[in-house]
């Protein structure tokens, strides 16, 4: 498979509802799409970096620079037998996992389409509906949060995740438990706490949470290991798991009891497969995360989640919850039973609607071999 061309687009879409975390409030999503071509077949990937360096040190602008200056030239015109080979081509480029993931995932989609297989089968998964969870940002009041939880449960989601931060933790969790009941509940701290906040985190142990996601700093495995010994609630790591080596370190240190796998954060499908196999060896449950992707990135996440190690409901919600319309049609949706079907067809099974992509694109560049 020879890469004949790569097309990069910077796209901006309004969110249906602003999404607030400990980093700030987001009303639009700006992201980068990669399309790779070989013999008339096109594969798609999406970069999860945002315009600002708050959730990650990578940004849309930095990803564009690294892709155009280093990553695309390293693979353009090259014959690739296995998509895993792309990382070998980039061995001199340190970091920039989100930029790498956008192109690597597009190459996985291309390879699966060239083989005439759905991506899930191409990577060894079994096509199956994926249990749907939903992520809720920080609302304006506790009552507004409780109402949002009720709305999402009525829409069919099996698991709810809410964002917490110091001062917004015990009260909203207690309100959900008292007013909504025994819903499977996760809290996500986005690294907002410090070791001295132990009492606030221990106060959540009484609420039978599925897990606390990323309570401490994004690059801190040692203090997470210490914290886990002081909590009954399992810790799930997200931002800390940037690839297989970090996952191995976290498992050895016992820094967590679950892992949120985001292929767009850890360099793509290849590194995610390695993390999956490593976690399976050690009995660590996985769940598929999301980073406000459009249907392109969302479809990749769904295909990855068909692997057997993904046993917990993830964050792959319906497209219309975030974008109306999404770039793809038909959109990804939650169906009765609280599951999300994996898109049918070869590759990731979806493509952008040309008119929608054109309307949302603010910058475009094509590179030919």
**DSSP characters over 67-79:** IIIIIHHHHTT-B
Q: Residue 20's pLDDT is what? A: 67
Note whether 266 and 243 are within 8 A (CB): yes
Q: Residue 23's pLDDT is what? A: 64
Note whether 45 and 102 are within 8 A (CB): yes
Cβ-in-10-Å burial (0-12, 13-18, 19+) of 333 comes to middle
Q: Residue 205's pLDDT is what? A: 98
Q: Residue 19's pLDDT is what? A: 73
| pLDDT tens for each residue of 242-301 | 999 999 999 999 999 999 999 999 999 999 999 999 999 999 999 998 888 999 999 999
Q: Residue 287's pLDDT is what? A: 93
Note whether 31 and 363 are within 8 A (CB): no
Q: Residue 22's pLDDT is what? A: 61
Q: Residue 298's pLDDT is what? A: 95
Q: How many CB atoms lie within 10 A of CB 123?
A: 21
Residue matched to tokens 């069919």: 156
Q: How far is CA 114 from CA 24, 35, 37, in A?
A: 41, 14, 10
Low-confidence ranges of the chain (pLDDT < 50): none
Residues in the chain: 369
| pLDDT tens for each residue of 71-91 | 999 999 999 999 999 999 999
My answer on whether omega of the bond before 330 falls inside 30° of 0, hence cis, is: yes
My answer on whether omega of the bond before 56 falls inside 30° of 0, hence cis, is: no
Residue matched to tokens 């706490």: 193
């Amino acid at each position: 498979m020879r890469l004949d061309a790569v097309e990069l687009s910077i796209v901006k879409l309004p969110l249906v509802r602003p999404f607030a975390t400990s980093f700030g409030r987001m009303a639009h999503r700006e992201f980068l799409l990669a399309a790779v071509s070989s013999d008339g077949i096109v594969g798609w990937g999406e970069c999860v970096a945002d315009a600002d360096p708050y959730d990650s040190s990578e940004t849309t602008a930095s990803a564009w620079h690294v892709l155009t200056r280093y990553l695309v030239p390293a693979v353009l015109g090259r014959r690739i037998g296995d998509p895993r080979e792309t990382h070998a081509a980039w061995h001199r480029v340190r970091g920039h996992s989100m930029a790498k993931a956008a192109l690597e995932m597009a190459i996985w989609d291309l390879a699966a389409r060239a083989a005439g297989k759905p991506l899930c089968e191409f990577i060894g998964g079994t096509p199956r509906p994926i249990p749907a969870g939903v992520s809720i940002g920080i609302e304006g009041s506790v009552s507004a949060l409780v109402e949002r939880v009720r709305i999402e449960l009525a829409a069919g989601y099996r698991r709810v995740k809410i964002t917490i931060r110091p001062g917004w933790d015990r009260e909203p969790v207690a309100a959900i438990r008292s007013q909504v009941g025994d819903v499977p509940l996760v809290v996500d701290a986005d690294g907002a706490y410090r070791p001295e906040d132990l009492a606030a985190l221990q106060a959540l142990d009484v609420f039978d949470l599925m897990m606390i996601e990323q309570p401490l700093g994004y690059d801190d495995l040692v203090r997470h290991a210490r914290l886990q010994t002081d909590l009954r609630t399992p810790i799930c790591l997200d931002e800390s798991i940037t690839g297989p080596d970090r996952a191995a370190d976290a498992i050895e240190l016992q820094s967590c009891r679950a892992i949120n796998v985001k292929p767009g954060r850890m360099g793509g499908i290849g590194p995610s497969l390695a993390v999956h196999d490593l976690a399976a060896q050690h009995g660590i449950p996985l769940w598929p995360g999301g980073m406000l992707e459009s249907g392109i990135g969302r479809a990749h996440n769904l295909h990855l989640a068909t692997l057997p190690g993904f046993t917990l409901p993830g964050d792959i919600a319906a497209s219309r919850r975030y974008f109306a319309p999404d770039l793809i049609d038909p959109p990804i949706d939650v169906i009765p039973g609280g599951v999300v079907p994996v898109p049918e067809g070869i590759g990731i099974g979806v493509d952008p609607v040309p008119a929608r992509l054109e309307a949302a694109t603010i910058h475009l560049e094509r590179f030919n071999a």
